[in-house]
Amino acid sequence: MTSYHDITDALSGLLSPGKVTADREILEAYARDETSDLSAMPDILVRAESVEDVRAVMEFCNTHGLPVIPRGAGTGVTGGAVPVRGGVVLSLEKMNRIIEIDRENMVAVVEPGAITRDIQDAARAEGLMYPPDPASLDSCSIGGNVAENAGGPRAVRYGTTRDYVLGLEFVLADGSVITTGGKFVKNATGYNLSGILIGSEGTLAVVTKIVLRLVPAPLFTFDMLLPFPSLVEAMNVVYGILLNRVVPATIEFMERDAIDLAAKFLEREMPFPDAGAHLLIQVDGNHEQAVFNDLDAIGKLSCADPDTIIIAQSPEQRERLWKARRSIRDAIKKFYPVFLAEDCVVPRSRIPEFMSDLKNYLETKDLRSVMFGHAGDGNVHIDVLKGDMEYEAWTQGLPELKREIYRRAIALGGTITGEHGIGFIRKDYLSLALSRDEIELLKRIKKAFDPKGILNPGKIF
Ligand SMILES: Cc1cc2nc3c(=O)[nH]c(=O)nc-3n(C[C@H](O)[C@H](O)[C@H](O)COP(=O)(O)OP(=O)(O)OC[C@H]3O[C@@H](n4cnc5c(N)ncnc54)[C@H](O)[C@@H]3O)c2cc1C
């Protein structure tokens, strides 16, 4: 093959018409994901509609040594779906069927392009729940969630995507189609291939079908918003809650700046304008009284004046509270389009130390940051804003800034990313978090799945 023109023709011949394009205007939309300040044009776009399409594309690209970049909904924030070396973007957006909600086995069988919210709604209609709830759930795809091991606020009680994948169908670089697991919870048959695929960021295989574990939907869910003078005081309450045998579904924290930005974005007043930090806690269960007891215990442990606690009982009230939490990233994007988004994890008990140490460091650099995240599982979102800084100074300073953030998380026993992955923007820092031997082993796994290195090159390593 000599040119991408020939390749487009050859791929169009292999697949039915309309699935392959090299139209620059269409390709533009596939040049970026939600990563701040990163884009690269693909050469060709293929919108697969079946596993057979994916198989044909992979076999062809492997034979000709062409890069293939799997893509879900493009909401990733580490450049995972960005074709940094050009090549063929393989979009799974049209493979979006919820094939089955199997009530008896409490399982969902879905295609990778299915939107996470749609899976949750389909499960709920059968009295079941798919718990992982990334803040992007209205737009991200389940294939992207699997590839990133996406998490969300409910990880405290329910875990992350990894805890719900029972089986996968995936296509290797050479076009082989492999099926792992199935509609069963236990499996001790050989290596856990699904486990290796989860969090592999499109570098090992293209996921074409997913079997998901569902759980019974809790009958009662209440959310409460609690104000605190400072983050340290809020975090002390978090430990108290968990040590008192109350395991809420979520324990989210938002520092003052995060709330202020969300309020400005949503053009609404926030209930506690003077609070230094907030906790947004969700408690669920099947016995109303037991859920009330948990709410009561949390209220007492917080030592808050009961008049300052907001409890949302109806879906509308709940949505109002969560809208503010889920809008923080969009607010930052709107008011500060260039920013660094980090999602380090540290042991839960080290969150206040991590944040105050980092704030001090950022202040010495005249940088403003917004911090929020998952207090229950130690995952802190740190968004550092470029603000008025000259663009050149900002980009020059980024490597040191990232290194300082990661170094601090690792020193406290944490790691560099909890849910957003390595992708393109963190690959130069992998060696801060993993040993040389570990990285070598990961590279050997990559070679076993994709010997020619055509799948999502330039990511993770
Ligand atoms: C406002 C906002 C809030 C967010 N909140 C959260 C959050 O709370 N928790 C969280 O974990 N993330 C969050 N994210 C990040 C993002 O939504 C997740 O990483 C999500 O899982 C990406 O899904 P996607 O379908 O958009 O994947 P894409 O961005 O399209 O791709 C992400 C990666 O997955 C690979 N990939 C996609 N589909 C496949 C497939 N079928 N087979 C193999 N590889 C594939 C791609 O190659 C790429 O490396 C947020 C993003 C935004 C913009």
CATH number for the domain harbouring residue 25 = 3.30.43.10
Q: Which two tokens stand for residue 331?
A: 């607010």
Question: Of 30, 65, 91, which residue constitutes the final position of a domain?
Answer: 91
Statement to judge: residues 209 and 103 lie in one domain: yes
- Neighbour count for residue 329 (Cβ, 10 Å): 23
Residues forming a β-bridge with 181: 167
Domain count within the chain:
4
Ligand 1 pocket member 237 (CB < 6 A) = no
In-domain check, residue 207:
yes
Q: Which domain holds residue 63?
A: 4-91
- Its sign, for the CA torsion 33, 34, 35, 37, is positive
Model pTM above 0.85: yes
Per-residue pLDDT tens listing for the chain (461 residues)? 568 889 999 999 999 879 999 999 999 999 999 998 899 999 999 999 999 999 999 999 999 999 999 999 999 999 999 999 999 999 999 999 999 999 999 999 999 999 999 999 999 999 999 999 999 999 999 999 999 999 999 999 999 999 999 999 999 999 999 999 999 999 999 999 999 999 999 999 999 999 999 999 999 999 999 999 988 899 889 988 998 889 999 999 999 989 999 999 999 888 887 899 999 999 999 999 999 999 999 999 988 788 889 999 788 888 888 988 989 989 999 999 999 999 999 999 899 899 999 999 999 999 999 999 999 899 999 999 999 999 999 999 999 999 999 999 999 999 999 999 999 999 999 999 999 999 999 999 999 999 999 999 999 99
4 CA distance to ligand 1 middle (Å)? 28
Residue 74 belongs to some domain of the structure: yes
Residues 278 and 378 in one domain: no
Reduced DSSP (H G I as helix, E B as strand, rest coil) percent helix, strand, coil of the chain, to 5: 40, 20, 40
HSE-up of 365 (CA within 13 Å, CB side)? 23
302 within a domain of the structure (yes/no): yes
Q: In terms of domains, do 357 and 432 share one?
A: yes
Instruction: Mark whether 39 and 84 lie in a shared domain.
Output: yes
Q: How far is the CA of 355 from the centre of ligand 1 (A)?
A: 25
In the chain, count of helices (H) and strands (E)?
Answer: 16, 18
Q: Which of 306, 325, 344 is where one domain is finished?
A: 325
Indicate if 255 and 201 belong to the same structural domain.
no
Residue whose pair of structure tokens reads 């050009």 in the numeric block: 86
Is the beta carbon of 171 within 6 A of some atom in ligand 1? no
User: Is the domain of 229 the same as that of 206?
Assistant: no
Ligand 1 atom with the smallest distance to the CA of 95 is 41
One domain, residues 253 and 311:
yes
User: What CATH number corresponds to the domain at position 278?
Assistant: 3.30.70.2190
| Pocket test residue of 38, 54, 55, 75 for ligand 1, highest count of atoms within 8 A of CB | 75
- Using the mean position of ligand 1's atoms as its centre, give its distance from the Cα of residue 204 in Å: 16
**Is 409 inside a domain boundary?**
yes
CATH number of the domain bearing residue 126: 3.30.465.10
Asked if 276 and 307 sit in the same domain, the reply is yes
Residue 399: count of CB within 10 angstroms of its CB: 11
Q: Are residues 274 and 249 in the same domain?
A: yes
Whether 76 is in the pocket of ligand 1, judged by its Cβ within 6 Å, is: yes
For residues 113 and 26, membership in a common domain is answered with no
Same domain, 296 and 262: yes
Q: Could you tell me if 188 and 249 lie in one domain? A: no
CATH number of the domain within which 393 lies: 3.30.70.2740
Contact 251, 379 (CB under 8 A): no
| 449, part of any domain | no
Distance between Cα 91 and ligand 1 center (Å): 13
Among 303, 325, 347, give the residue marking a domain's end. 325
Torsion sign across C-alpha atoms 388, 389, 390, 396: negative
